[in-house]
Structures are given as structure tokens and as C-alpha cells.
Amino acid sequence: MGKITIDPITRIEGHLKVEVVVDDGEVKDARSSGTLFRGFELVLRGRDPRDAQRITQRICGVCPTTHATAAALNLDSAFGVDEQIPDNGRIVRNLILGSNFIQSHVLHFYHLAALDYVDVTAVADYEGDDPALNSVKAFISRGELGPFAPRYEGDYRLSPEANRAATANYLKALDARRKAHEMLAVFGGKMPHNVAVVPGGVTQPVTVDKITSFLWRLNDLRDFIDHVYIPTVLAVAEAYTDYFEVGAGCGNLLSYGAFELDGQEPDLLKRERFIRGGRISRDNLVLQEVDPTQITEQVRHSWYDDAITDRSPAEGDTVPRLDKDGAYSWLKAPRYDGQVYEVGPLARMVVAYARGDEPAKALVDSVLGQFNAPVEALFSVLGRHAARALECKLVADAMADWVLQLKPDEPVCADYELPEEAQGVGLVGAPRGALGHWIRIEGGVIANYQCVVPSTWNLSPRDDRDQPGPVEQSLIGTQIKDEANPFEVVRIVRAFDPCLACAVHVLDARGQERARFRVL
């Protein structure tokens, strides 16, 4: 029996360590450890409530837009303007959020996950006039594989032609992400950390020039999604069909939904949203609603004081305790009614499928039909990649309609007054999953602020009942062919799109280090 420790495990953002105990080639146990204390909740105490949508964006440089959205929804409810957002303000928020969805999904597949399946060294034999591939070829000839290396070796299954096409698409995806950032900045002012989303709506007035500028970039991105992104995902799936049976996880999915279509309902989860919320289990695929009062955070195995365990985030606290016995992560363990839930594009697409949403159902059925796979196959590594790509298309296509619903020169923001005492909640779907912000205002300033982010759900440690988190459960039972090249582990974890980062060393059962790797 030996242990594989991968630290860090992602190619960007944050600090995540994953440890798996392997016996006779099978993962018997797994631990997901967040190795960095966040502390933004402490920074916010005593500040003007309007600072929240500025400061919380700094939690993440990849998806700050969703923190701006959750913070604004949170403050809308606390300030009592949640039913007064002008249509222009609601739509512009959707367009800003959707732009971030597109860039984040493209980033994840091409630049954070695809290199686990694509062998860029196939470009060494390329004979053609594509300048991008010739540039990569020149790097390879000089022994310079960055940013494609260091990497694990072996188990690359795509044909040389498919590998070259995927490498070229890696470079095209960089340009697509740039366009998505530019598109967001049309209404958001800048990316990262947009300055347009505020309580009551947005600050950016709508003009015909802005609509035109946004739309032409969006149409280019829709073409990329349809003709590059989705085909690349399907090509990988065809070569790695066994990954429809790997990484099933906890089997419970939860979504808050996203993109407001009607701002007149104060209960966020009862609003009409383009992507609707819900809960569903792989065991029976029966759709259920989400009750935010059933959400708690548990800390038995987290570096926080036990006195704050199993509390609603509205009553939560952030009390670090690094010397705590049995703890192994800075992440708390979010639970719904005491149960483990996965969040993310997979959750949103399966919930949409169960609700009978026609565009989502048609896309999912098309992919499942191509592989003669049942709906249950979505609970897998490839299911997560497919769900993310299909959601990207759904959102991009919807945005083409939303931008044309804008009305130049009409209001974009509602007036409000700062309350002396108030509470609020903001729940929204982020690219990586369900994101929640909770605030309590006392004396006109923030008395408490709590964020429960998607990667906290998915990468959580064991909870008060010793239930492993979603990623931990997805790893247990996995077969590892080569402990020196644990492809299976990184493919499973990266399919969740963790917004944390990690490096790799391998130990034997006696704790002796055998080798050390760094995976970028």
C-alpha cells in the first residue's frame, strides 16, 4: 500500500493538494486539502456594505464576475431593491456574467484540462504552413515544451492528426478567451474585476455602439464554440470512452440556477432563471427544489474552531485553528440537509435535463446518442467536460437574444438607501457551480459576511459524520495503472475545474519519498 500526493494538482489559481492511498492499483482512500487560508470574510468586517462587490471579486482572478453578481444580489436583498432592478440592469448583469461563463469554460477545457489527453509532441512531425503549429514545432525542436510541460508520460490516445488539431485549437482558444474578456469589458468596464455590477443594477448606460460591439464578438465566439470547442471535446470523448465510467462521485447534484429572466420575485431560487435551480440524485433522477435554509458548513476536519460547525452560512463565522487534531484542509464542508452534493455545469445540465428544458435536453440527448450512453453516464469525468461545453453553447446562444432586448437610454440602476440594520443573501450559478454570499449589517457596516464558493462544495474535506467530499468520493475506487504517472487522479480532479492549485510527490507506505513532480 502506498500514497500518492499531488501538490499542486491544477495548472492555475489557488492551492490544492490531493492525497490518495493506493493498494494493488486501486484507490482505497482520498483526501482533498485546501492549503491556503482565504480570510476575506474577516477583511470585510466593519466596512461599508457597498465594498462587498469590489472586495469579494478579489477572491478569484478567474471568475471574479460571479462574485460581483452574488455580492450585488446579496446587497440588493439587504438594501430592499431586489424587486426594483430595471430590465436593462438585469440584462446587462446577465451579459457580463455570461461573458465570464464563456471565457471560463474555454479556459478550463483547453488550458487546464485538455493537456491531460493531448500529446503536443505530435507536432514535431508536422509538415505544413500553419504558423501556430510551426511555432510549437520550433519550441519542441529546441527541447522547450513550456507551457505544455512538465507533464505525465503515456496514455495519450488521440491520432497524430487529432493531436495536432487539438494543439492548434489550444492556441485558438487563447484568442477566444481574449474576445470574451473584451466582450465583458464592453459593459463591465474591465476584466478582471469589473466595475459595472453594483447594488440596484449596473453603472454602464446602454448605447447602440455598445450593443454592436458586444454582438460581433459574441458571434465570433459562438462560431468557435460550435466548430472548435464542442468538436474537440467530442474527439477526446471518442478516444477515451472509458472515462464515461470513471469518477462518478457522490451522485448528488445541486444547482442554484443562473441568469435572471424576471427580477420581481424576492426569493432568488423561485425566480424565473434561464438556468433553473434544483437537486437531483443519480440513484433515481427525481428532481427536487433547493431550500437555502438546509445549507450548513461543517468543520470537523477543517482548520476552524469546532464551535462554528454545522451552522447556516447566515450564522457562520471564520475562526482559524491551525493546531486542530484531525483537520487537514482550510476548506469547510458545505452540506445540504447533512448530505454531500456536487455543484457545477454537470449539476446544472442534469437539472435542466430533468426539468425537460428543450434546448438542454436536445443537446444532451445528441451527445448521449453519439456514444449510446444512458443519462447516468453523465456522472463521470467525460460527463463533466461535455456538460461544460454544452452549457457554454446554451449560454452564448441565449446572450445573442438578450443583447438585442436592451433599450438604449433607459435606466440601468435603481435608487436605494443604506440600511442601519439588515440581512441579505445572494445565490447564483458560477462557472464552477453554486455560489452563495450572506451578509449581516449592523450600525450601517458589515457585521458578518460569509461566502460558500463552488470549489468549497466540490473539494470539501470529510464532514462531521466523516462523509468524504465529492472529489474524494470520485477518486475512491479508481484503478491506477502507473503510480509514477497517475493520469487517472489528475483527470478526475481537473474535470471538476477546481479553482485551486497544487505539485506532485509520491510516497511509499512508510512515508518515504520516491519521486517529486511539478505539474503545470
What pLDDT shows up at residue 375?
94
In 356-467, beta strands by DSSP E? 422-430, 433-442, 445-452
Catalytic residue among 13, 19, 472, 488: 13
E strand or H helix at 201 = strand 201-202
At 14, is the pLDDT very low, low, confident or very high (cuts 50, 70, 90)?
A: low
Q: Is 432 a catalytic residue?
A: yes
Q: Tell me which of 411 and 267 has the higher pLDDT.
A: 411
Grade residue 315 by pLDDT with cuts at 50, 70 and 90.
very high
Q: Is the pLDDT of residue 263 over 80?
A: no
Alpha-helical regions (H) of 107-159:
131-141
Instruction: Tell me the pLDDT tens digit for each residue of 351-382.
Output: 999 999 999 999 999 999 999 999 999 999 99
Mean of the pLDDT values across residues 446-475? 96
**For residues 60-78, average pLDDT:** 92
**Using 50, 70 and 90 to split pLDDT, how confident is the model at 63?**
confident
Let me know: does 343 contact 433? Beta carbons within 8 Å.
yes
Answer yes or no: 250 catalytic.
Answer: no
Q: Per residue in 327-344, is it b (16+ CB within 10 Å) or e — as a string? A: bbbbbbbbbbeeebbbbb
13 is catalytic: yes
DSSP 443: T
Give the active site residue among 11, 33, 60, 335.
60
Q: Which residues pair with 30 in a beta bridge?
A: 20
Give the three cell numbers for residue 294.
438546509
The cell numbers describing 248, all together, are 462518478
- Nearest by Cα to 162 from 239, 244, 243, 240: 239
Span 75-95, pLDDT tens digits: 999 999 999 999 999 999 999
Catalytic-role residue among 31, 151, 276, 432: 432
What Rg value do the Cα atoms of the chain yield, rounded? 22
What are 260's strand-pairing partners?
273
Neighbouring-strand partners of residue 333: 298
In this prediction the pTM is 0.93
Pick the residue with more confidence: 516 or 167? 167
Query: Is residue 67 annotated as a catalytic residue, yes or no?
Result: yes
CA angle 271, 272, 278 (to 5 degrees): 75
Tell me whether residue 141 is one of the annotated catalytic residues: no
Residue type, 98: G
- Given its phi and psi angles, is residue 373 left (phi above 0), alpha (psi -120 to 50 degrees) or beta? beta
Q: Is the pLDDT of residue 414 over 60?
A: yes
pLDDT of residue 5: 84
Question: In angstroms, how far is the first alpha carbon of the chain from the final one?
Answer: 27
> In which band, very low, low, confident or very high, does the pLDDT at 502 lie, cut at 50, 70 and 90?
very low
Distance of alpha carbon 248 from alpha carbon 269, whole angstroms: 27
CB–CB of 492/103 below 8 Å?
no
The CA distance from 149 to 136, in Å, is 12
Q: Regarding predicted confidence, which is higher, 147 or 503?
A: 147
Q: Is the pLDDT of residue 488 over 90?
A: yes
Determine whether 451 is an active site residue: no
Considering the candidates 11, 19, 54, 63, report the single residue annotated as catalytic.
63
